[in-house]
Chains A and B, each alone.
Chain A
Amino acid sequence: MIKLQNIDKVYRTSTIETMALNNINLAIDKGEFLSIMGPSGCGKSTLLNIIGLLDEPTNGVIEIAGEKASGLPDKKLSAFRNRKLGFVFQSYHLINDLPVLDNVELPLLYRSMSAAERKKLAAEALEKVGLSNRMYHYPSQLSGGQKQRVAIARAIVGKPAIILADEPTGNLDSAMGNEIMEILIDLNKNDKTTIVMVTHDENMSKMTHRLVRLFDGSQVS
């Protein structure tokens, strides 16, 4: 499903060069639930951003669903992200000026689809994460766990094949964190969605199929 070959990521300033990722080779199967762990600053989020095509590698090739995804022009890259990928961020990244339903339908705005259909799919996604009763609330009116459930609803509304989650439980207490993990596991199991998750939490990683560990930008297991 996802294939990374010889991925390097180097950050350069006028005085310093930092190797954030060093020769990463990784293959993730369709329907797999993979977690990435490692100490702070080891390159976990950088790797997730590169898999999610939010950032470009300095060297190497990315293939997603059989398509070479690196080096695409902006328009194709945007369409690719829109169709194939869904993101869940540690700090939710909801648009505070919009109500929950509008936040969830956001990925569908960039597809040719009627407003009624968008609303219907967004409502279904919210039902899936148990937030049908919060559709017209604003993010500021929700708890952390509810915000993350909205973020998951937004990630799945376009039915992407892959969900990339960057410490989705990082800002939540363990009970809420477990709730979120249950939703992700359910998505993986029932919808066969491939999930790549960055986490600091050993217990969460144990709930996934496979664990990749990074240290100083290199893959150690």
Chain B
Amino acid sequence: MFYNYLKITFAVLKRRKLLTFISLFGVSFTLTILIVTVSFYDHVFSAKYPDLKRNQMLYISRVVSKDSKSGGTNTSPSGYYLIKEYVSKMKTPEKIGFATQPSTINIYNPGGNKLRVFYKYTDANFWDLHEFDFKQGKPYGQQNLDNHENVIVINEKTRDDYFGKNVDAIGKTFEIINEPYKVIGVVRGSPITRFYSSSDIYIPYNLTKENLSLNHRLHGSYTIFLKGNSKQDLINIRKEFADIVPKLPFTEYDHWFKPDKHYIFADNYVEAFSRELFGDTDTPGLIKFYLLLAFSAFIFMLLPAINLINININRIMERASEIGIRKAFGASANTLVKQFLVENIFVSLLGTLIAIALSIISIYYINHTNLIAYSDLTINWKVLTLAIIFSFAFGLISGVYPAWRMSKMNIVEALKY
């Protein structure tokens, strides 16, 4: 039976070339965008280079202080005071590190060419918490920080742009706004979408011009990394930190902003990301985040699906006579619905194959052009599974109504076509 369904599907697809093209184009184009989007989601949220320990880490990315009387809120990354006085004294994390988010700066290479680069300040533990691939040299350690050495780590592209392609940069001087730094390590670059770890230049945090001794400032410019070894560790870390928050001091920043409550959380990566976009004071807004993703995917599939429903109705109406014949010889309405759904899902799956090919080309293009530097989008089994699920959903959405409508057709009327 199934084979017969496929046979007629192929025959009809071959006969109506324009309709086939429109149907397949609709399906494959929609799915290509979905696959690339899912691949991009995977690129942003999966534990990939150099964030390979992401699933063992919690992030304190945002400090929110609220003045309930004036309604004023101060939101920023964490301050050095919070790290030094509270977080660094925590017992449950296996390792604690911190880094600023990437900022941009213009520098000039020895040839006088302007380079626009990202830089970030990190502590020494940052290198243990991430798995950077050192192409030359090594990371700076606590000793370098204690000695206040002007050392930096740069990525390969920055090395190539500053010193020349594949030049051995270790020990060479790298100037950032008239300040000389010695290059101590060169790492493989990572995409900026991994913004907790990605940068072109890494500088020891104690070389910052910022005054680190500012008292009682919980606010600052750092993201804190807390590493555990197991899920239970992460639960314990969250709990320990949650117990610290109520004990944090309230700094009277000025006379009209007097915060009386802090909202600071140790989040996993997705929560930290979601909190930035959808979070309120208490929750990271994960439900909103996932709902938005699901809704966007649904709407994105719905619009072409409605179009395909229209095409499918025409395609099926054109086969009214066949429907009449099949019914006359014993096909029930349910059997016909099944047949047309199988056909539609088959067309969708065919569209999926084309979509996968198109996605591979698109992803190759994204990875090999400078659209996102160092991007390493991939089509993995998760992406493929989702694509097939989307395709099934698409086939069902665009096939159910036409199939149901034609199955209800009066046989005598159908045979008149």
- The interface of chain A, by Cβ under 8 A from chain B, is 49, 52, 54-55, 74-75, 78-79, 81-83, 86-87, 89, 93-95, 97-98, 102, 106-107, 109-111, 115, 154, 158
User: Could you tell me if B411 and A54 are in contact, using CB atoms closer than 8 angstroms?
Assistant: yes
Task: Give residues of chain B (329-360) contacting chain A, Cβ–Cβ below 8 Å.
Answer: 329-335
User: Could you tell me if A95 and B325 are in contact, using CB atoms closer than 8 angstroms?
Assistant: yes
Q: Which of B1, B8, B333 contacts A74 (CB 8 A)?
A: B333
Q: Tell me the complex Cα distance, A93–B412, Å.
A: 12
User: Could you tell me if B322 and A79 are in contact, using CB atoms closer than 8 angstroms?
Assistant: no
User: Could you tell me if A110 and B331 are in contact, using CB atoms closer than 8 angstroms?
Assistant: yes
Q: Nearest-CB distance from B85 to chain A (Å)? A: 75
Residues of A within 8 A of B332 (CB): 74-75, 78-79, 110
Contact count band on B: 20 to 34
Residue of A nearest to B408 (CB): A74
Q: Tell me the complex Cα distance, A75–B328, Å.
A: 12
Residues of B within 8 A of A54 (CB): 327-328, 411-412, 415
User: Could you tell me if A81 and B330 are in contact, using CB atoms closer than 8 angstroms?
Assistant: yes
Q: Nearest-CB distance from A64 to chain B (Å)? A: 14
Residue of B nearest to A89 (CB): B415
Residue of B nearest to A79 (CB): B330
Residues of A within 8 A of B329 (CB): 81-82, 86-87, 106-107, 110, 154, 158
B4: interface (CB < 8 Å):
yes
Task: Give residues of chain B (50-71) contacting chain A, Cβ–Cβ below 8 Å.
Answer: none
User: Could you tell me if A102 and B330 are in contact, using CB atoms closer than 8 angstroms?
Assistant: no
Residues of B within 8 A of A93 (CB): 321, 324-325, 328, 415
Contacts A93-B324, A109-B1; A78 near B415 (Cβ below 8 A): no
Residue of B nearest to A84 (CB): B330
Sampled A-B contacts (6; CB under 8 Å): A81-B328, A82-B329, A97-B322, A98-B8, A110-B332, A111-B330
Task: Give residues of chain B (292-325) contacting chain A, Cβ–Cβ below 8 Å.
Answer: 321-322, 324-325
Q: Tell me the complex Cα distance, A87–B329, Å.
A: 8
Residues of A within 8 A of B415 (CB): 54, 89, 93
Task: Give residues of chain B (3-23) contacting chain A, Cβ–Cβ below 8 Å.
Answer: 3-4, 7-8, 11-12, 15
Q: Nearest-CB distance from A52 to chain B (Å)? A: 7
User: Could you tell me if B3 and A115 are in contact, using CB atoms closer than 8 angstroms?
Assistant: yes
B219: interface (CB < 8 Å):
no
User: Could you tell me if B331 and A98 are in contact, using CB atoms closer than 8 angstroms?
Assistant: no
User: Could you tell me if B335 and A110 are in contact, using CB atoms closer than 8 angstroms?
Assistant: yes
Contacts A75-B334, A78-B330, A81-B329; A98 near B324 (Cβ below 8 A): no
B326: interface (CB < 8 Å):
yes
Residue of B nearest to A166 (CB): B415
Q: Which of B8, B328, B411 contacts A97 (CB 8 A)?
A: B8
Residues of B within 8 A of A75 (CB): 332, 334
Residues of A within 8 A of B335 (CB): 78, 110
Q: Which of B1, B4, B321, B412 contacts A55 (CB 8 A)?
A: B412
Residues of A within 8 A of B324 (CB): 93
Residue of B nearest to A95 (CB): B322
Residue of A nearest to B10 (CB): A97
Q: Nearest-CB distance from A146 to chain B (Å)? A: 18
Residue of A nearest to B325 (CB): A93
Residues of A within 8 A of B333 (CB): 74, 78
Q: Nearest-CB distance from A198 to chain B (Å)? A: 14
Max chain B C-beta neighbours (<10 A), residue from A52, A74, A89 = A74
User: Could you tell me if B328 and A87 are in contact, using CB atoms closer than 8 angstroms?
Assistant: yes
Q: Tell me the complex Cα distance, A163–B1, Å.
A: 25
Task: Give residues of chain B (268-288) contacting chain A, Cβ–Cβ below 8 Å.
Answer: none
Q: Nearest-CB distance from B7 to chain A (Å)? A: 7
Rank and list the top 10 A-B pairs by shortest CB-CB distance, nearest first.
A82-B330, A97-B11, A78-B332, A110-B330, A107-B329, A54-B411, A75-B332, A93-B325, A55-B412, A95-B322
Residues of B within 8 A of A55 (CB): 410-412
Residues of A within 8 A of B328 (CB): 52, 54, 81, 87, 93
Q: Nearest-CB distance from A22 to chain B (Å)? A: 19
Contacts A55-B411, A93-B321; A106 near B7 (Cβ below 8 A): no
* CB 8 Å contact bits of B388-417 with A (1 = contact, 0 = none): 000000000000000000000011100100
User: Could you tell me if A49 and B412 are in contact, using CB atoms closer than 8 angstroms?
Assistant: yes
Residues of A within 8 A of B11 (CB): 97-98
Contacts A97-B11, A98-B11, A109-B1; A78 near B412 (Cβ below 8 A): no
User: Could you tell me if B411 and A98 are in contact, using CB atoms closer than 8 angstroms?
Assistant: no
